[in-house]
């Protein structure tokens, strides 16, 4: 992979993850994005430099993008630290509902996410319990999602 291709991949991935789009709202706070891109890019270049010549022929674009995304999320966790549990949960599970998200539920109507927590079930599976409040009557309700392994 040429240097130009490397930076195109980095730019494309950061453009996707740093900007809200139809699939996901950015899990990364604006104030860390410049440093996050720099850190993840540095780690990615180191990873590429450690590949053997034979590895370069075997690694496809999808795998390269996946490696960069893993590094991006790992570096984000380092930058945000351990204090903000809600932000950590957002980075770990970027596709899950977040506090403040609006939803429209068949049974409860328009609602807003007001809290969420992780719990482990008896069989060892991880679930996210999402607490919501119905917009119309303020009635609280909850739903639960299995976290894919």
Kindly state whether residue 97 falls inside one of the protein's structural domains. no
Check whether 1 has a pLDDT greater than 70: no
Q: Which residue has the higher pLDDT, 53 or 45?
A: 45
3-state secondary structure (DSSP) of residue 82: coil
Q: pLDDT tens digits, residue range 24-49? A: 899 999 999 999 999 999 999 999 99
CB-side neighbour CA atoms (13 Å) of 64: 22
| Phi–psi pair at 99, nearest 5 degrees | -55, 130
For residue 114, CA distances in Å to 74, 103, 139 come to 27, 11, 12
Q: What pLDDT was estimated at residue 118?
A: 95
Number of domains present in the structure of the chain: 2
Residues 80 and 32 placed together within one structural domain of the fold: yes
CATH number assigned to the domain comprising residue 123: 2.30.30
- Structural domain containing residue 22: 3-92
User: Is 112:135 a contact under the CB 8 Å cutoff?
Assistant: yes
Q: pLDDT tens digits, residue range 58-113? A: 888 889 999 999 999 999 999 998 889 999 999 999 999 999 999 999 999 999 99
Q: Which residue has the higher pLDDT, 23 or 94?
A: 94
Check whether 146 has a pLDDT greater than 90: yes
User: Is 28:76 a contact under the CB 8 Å cutoff?
Assistant: yes
Residues 19 and 82 placed together within one structural domain of the fold: yes
Q: In the predicted model, what is the mean pLDDT of the chain?
A: 92
Of the candidates 92, 110, 126, which is a domain's last residue? 92
Residues 11 and 82 placed together within one structural domain of the fold: yes
Q: What pLDDT was estimated at residue 56?
A: 75
Residues 19 and 68 placed together within one structural domain of the fold: yes
């Amino acid at each position: 992979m040429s240097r130009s291709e490397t930076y195109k991949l980095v730019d494309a991935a950061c453009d996707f993850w740093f900007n809200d789009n139809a699939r996901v709202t950015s899990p990364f706070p604006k104030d860390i994005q410049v440093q996050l891109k720099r850190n993840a890019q540095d780690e990615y270049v180191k990873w590429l430099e450690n590949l053997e010549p034979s590895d370069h022929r075997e690694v496809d674009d999808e795998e390269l993008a996946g490696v960069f995304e893993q590094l991006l999320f790992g570096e984000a966790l380092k930058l945000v630290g351990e204090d903000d549990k809600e932000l950590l949960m957002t980075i770990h599970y970027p596709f899950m509902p977040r506090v403040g998200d609006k939803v429209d539920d068949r049974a409860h109507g328009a609602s807003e996410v007001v809290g969420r927590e992780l719990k482990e079930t008896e069989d060892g599976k991880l679930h996210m319990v999402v607490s919501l409040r119905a917009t119309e009557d303020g009635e609280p309700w909850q739903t639960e999602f299995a976290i894919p392994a």
